[in-house]
Amino acid sequence: MAEPRPSSRTVADSAGEPATGAVLAAPAVPGPGAVGVLRPLGVGQVRLDPDGLLGQWYRRNATATLPHCVDRLETSGNLGNLRAAAGEAEQEFRGMWFADSDVYKTLEAASWRLAASAPGDEAGLRAFVAGTTALLARAQRPDGYLNSYFTLVEPGERWRKPHWSHELYCAGHLIQAAVAAGRAGVGDGLLEQARRFADLLVARFGPDGVDEVCGHPEIETALVELYRLTGHGPYLELAARFIDLRGRGLLTRGPFGPGYFQDHVPPRDAREVAGHAVRQQYLLAGMIDVAVETGDRELLAAAGRLWEDAVHTRTYVTGAHGSRHRDEAYGSPYELPPDRAYAETCAAIAGFQCSWRLLLATGEARYADEMERVLYNAVAVAVSCDGTRFFYSNPLQVRTGHVGGGEEASTRRLPWYSCACCPPNLARLFAALPGHLATADDEGLRIHLYGSATVDAAVRGVPVRLRMRTEYPWQGRVELTVTGPAGSAPWTLALRIPAWCPAYTVLVDGVPVRAEAPDGYVRLRRVWAHGTTVVLDLHLPVRQVSAHPRVDAVRGCVALTRGPLVYCLEQADLPPDAVLEDVRLDPEAPVVLALANGPGPSAPPVTLIASGFTVTTAGTSLYRTAARAGGTTTPVTLRAVPYFLWGHRAKGAMRVWIPARPAPHENSG
């Protein structure tokens, strides 16, 4: 077990980090003695330009999504619950029993936003953080316990329903909000409240306490983050204990069994992901955090092994996790039905967080590749262009005439949900997004995600500013300019070459350089002069992607991708008499680009134009033999749009996977 550190982590004067004495305002900041290769930058050290796609998303989150979440916490009763728990209102409890967690996620999002804002900016957001922090203090019980549902509705059942209570889950989100506020220097008192609750957890569940785990993992990574900020060893010890208690069958109630709760096998011994997808990914995040802080190589290897299983056998082409609606769970290997995909937004966010932690721990480019895939597809699709409507589940196909199965299976983005876990989760991810573009290591700086931005860091004690200009992902050209004092020592600028990229070129001050990327990163090492320019040009061909043959649901289909983006077909782009289910792609015909389709954020700068045909089958028989097949084919031009933008036009069918050849009963008529 690592030795406790001082109560406030100060940042050493090393590559990529701010001045000595400043707390690094970013999520998942490894401690000084942690196992790991890369160090994150603070969310304020990377400033996204509002004209780039990532900058547009970041600004939309700040101006629309986050204020929307704050408003909904009031109108949906979440804040009213806490006022009632504080004895200040007569309101009956409203919403899900874990509704407090939505308050905490919004607080975390606000804190990351404020960490990147000037002290006098965002007055309304600062008032929300201060007012909510004060409210939480009034609602907290004398022993440190804080949960409005059990305070108001079932006070006698506190800690008695570990399968479903979400008490530790809510505590975890409170702690993460407090860590964000502490690192951002806002929310005076919130860290103290979180520590009072965490101390209660240590007393109850610590080494000499109750052998119990939460049905919904989340507390594990939160306790590690609290340890990182405070240096208080018992928080890390409790996080490790919660992980090691799993697999003992402590959670066996309910219709889904212990696998649903990741309690069927010890995490160190697990070979396959299982159960509720969000819970599994949150548990992996906690495993990684504990492993890097304790030097537990076995636990880190187990997390990496489970990541491999998820990504290579149970993850959708969009990066989404979870194929089953019934239990919001992973299915069997290669069980990835596009039309029945649950693909919960929170699972995509959790997958992004896990890949980020593995990237920091190992420096391996494949984890950044996965972050990119998830962000541009499975995460981005969940938010409307105006930032105030959201998907809970994210199918890869919507059939003609499909009737949604409730709000969690809606084919239209909704402004809120009765289980509103996803919108504030999106808000906290996008608020922290700048801190995920670049990292530092002992050699210099690495760029993982490309977007127009300004990166400020210190490399070997020398301030460096890196200006990045690009229209990525619509174009592959990335221009970087190094500014700041001319250093006397060389350092390395490493640029990720995505696994999907077949070719690239690199220019330094206009001169081509040979730049190999054996591990997924081009490394340019030199004494950098002020004004040195680097141009990385990534080739972005259109690719026809096919699934592993064991993915029965999409056998004989292809998905169109370009760069990190997955594309889809929508009924809105077909002739009025065509039905999307009748469409077939001609895989031999070229796919070309169409630029600037129209105005507005829902009009993509790049769409794909492909050739295909529709099949009209004679008769109405549901089944037929090949000998009696009939029908005609009609040529049709197919326009594919980025998957993350689907659902912004007329309601209708959509599909990512396109049949690429006639079915056995079809002929050319």
Instruction: Give residue-wise pLDDT tens across range 178-217.
Output: 999 999 999 899 999 999 999 999 999 999 999 999 999 9
Buried-exposed string 187-196: b where 16+ CB fall within 10 A, e elsewhere: beebbebbbb
What number of other Cβ atoms are within 10 A of residue 329's Cβ? 25
- Which neighbouring-strand residues pair with 524? 493
218's enclosing H/E stretch is: none
pLDDT for the residue 522: 98
pLDDT for the residue 22: 56
489, 464 in Cβ contact below 8 A? no
421 belongs to the catalytic site: yes
The alpha carbon of residue 404 and the mean position of all alpha carbons in its chain are separated, in whole angstroms, by 25
68, 415 in Cβ contact below 8 A? yes
* 578 vs 1 pLDDT, higher one: 578
With a cut of 70, say whether residue 557 has pLDDT above it: yes
With a cut of 90, say whether residue 622 has pLDDT above it: no
655's enclosing H/E stretch is: strand 654-655
Q: Per CATH, which fold does 39-436 belong to?
A: Glycosyltransferase (1.50.10)
With a cut of 50, say whether residue 374 has pLDDT above it: yes
With a cut of 90, say whether residue 637 has pLDDT above it: yes
Task: Assign domain 443-538 to its CATH superfamily.
Answer: Golgi alpha-mannosidase II (2.60.40.1180)
* CA–CA dist 74, 89 (Å, integer): 13
344 belongs to the catalytic site: no
Buried-exposed string 532-553: b where 16+ CB fall within 10 A, e elsewhere: bebbbebebebeeebbeeebeb
Pairing of strands 444-447, 491-496: parallel
* 406 vs 106 pLDDT, higher one: 106
pLDDT for the residue 17: 42
* CA–CA dist 377, 132 (Å, integer): 33
- Pick the range with the lowest mean pLDDT from 144-148, 262-266, 530-534, 617-621: 617-621
* CA atoms within 13 Å, Cβ hemisphere of 195: 18
> pTM of the prediction?
0.95
Catalytic choice (328, 370, 408, 570)? 328
- Which neighbouring-strand residues pair with 512? 507
641, 568 in Cβ contact below 8 A? yes
pLDDT for the residue 650: 84
Write down the domain spans for the chain. 39-436, 443-538, 544-659
Catalytic choice (421, 501, 557, 568)? 421
* CA–CA dist 449, 624 (Å, integer): 50
Sequence-ordered alpha helix ranges (H) in 185-269? 190-205, 219-230, 233-245
Residue range 224-282, pLDDT digits in tens: 999 999 999 999 999 999 999 999 999 988 788 999 999 999 999 999 999 999 999 99
With a cut of 70, say whether residue 594 has pLDDT above it: yes
With a cut of 90, say whether residue 95 has pLDDT above it: yes
pLDDT for the residue 253: 82
With a cut of 70, say whether residue 343 has pLDDT above it: yes
Name the pLDDT band for 119 (thresholds 50, 70, 90).
confident
pLDDT for the residue 402: 84
Average pLDDT over residues 114-126: 92
